[in-house]
Amino acid sequence: QLQLQESGPGLVKPSETLSLTCTVSGGSIGRSSYYWGWIRQPPGKGLEWIGHIYYNGNTNYNPSLKSRVTMSVDMSKDQFSLKLSSVTAADTAVYYCLRIAARVVDYWGQGTLVAVSS
């Protein structure tokens, strides 16, 4: 059974960079049929797609966040990562890592709350 687990700081200061890692178990990031991505959900609000990365490093980011987002993949560890720079309080959210198949999310991590505050 595929499992995804987010890890990273739960508190980030304004203007700094949010960094999260997702570890995949029960499967390999290197399978060619899937993309690996991130979605976030501010407390009490809806879902926002951040972007995804393919095992070869190709990325696709939400234009609304593109200038601040960087994703990377480490196939040797079956991990992929998210960096979001210049964060503000508006970036406070639960961040989910996920697997995307045919532009649909079929596996989700449990989510990790990241708060932006001084």
Partner 1 sequence: DIQMTQSPSTLSASVGDRVTITCRASQNIDSWLAWYQQKPGKAPKLLIFKASSLESGVPSRFSGSGSGTEFTLTISSLQPDDFATYYCQQSNSYPLTFGGGTKVEIK
Query: What DSSP designation does 87 have?
Result: -
Q: x-or-dash pattern for partner 1, window 49-88, by CB under 8 A? A: x----------x-xxx------------------------
Pairing of strands 18-25, 3-7: antiparallel
Our CB check for partner 1 shows the closer of 13 and 52 to be 52
Q: Which of 43, 67, 76, 103 binds partner 1 (CB under 8 A)?
A: 103
Place of tokens 């990365």: 53
Our CB check for partner 1 shows the closer of 16 and 60 to be 60
**56 phi/psi in degrees, rounded to 5:** -85, 0
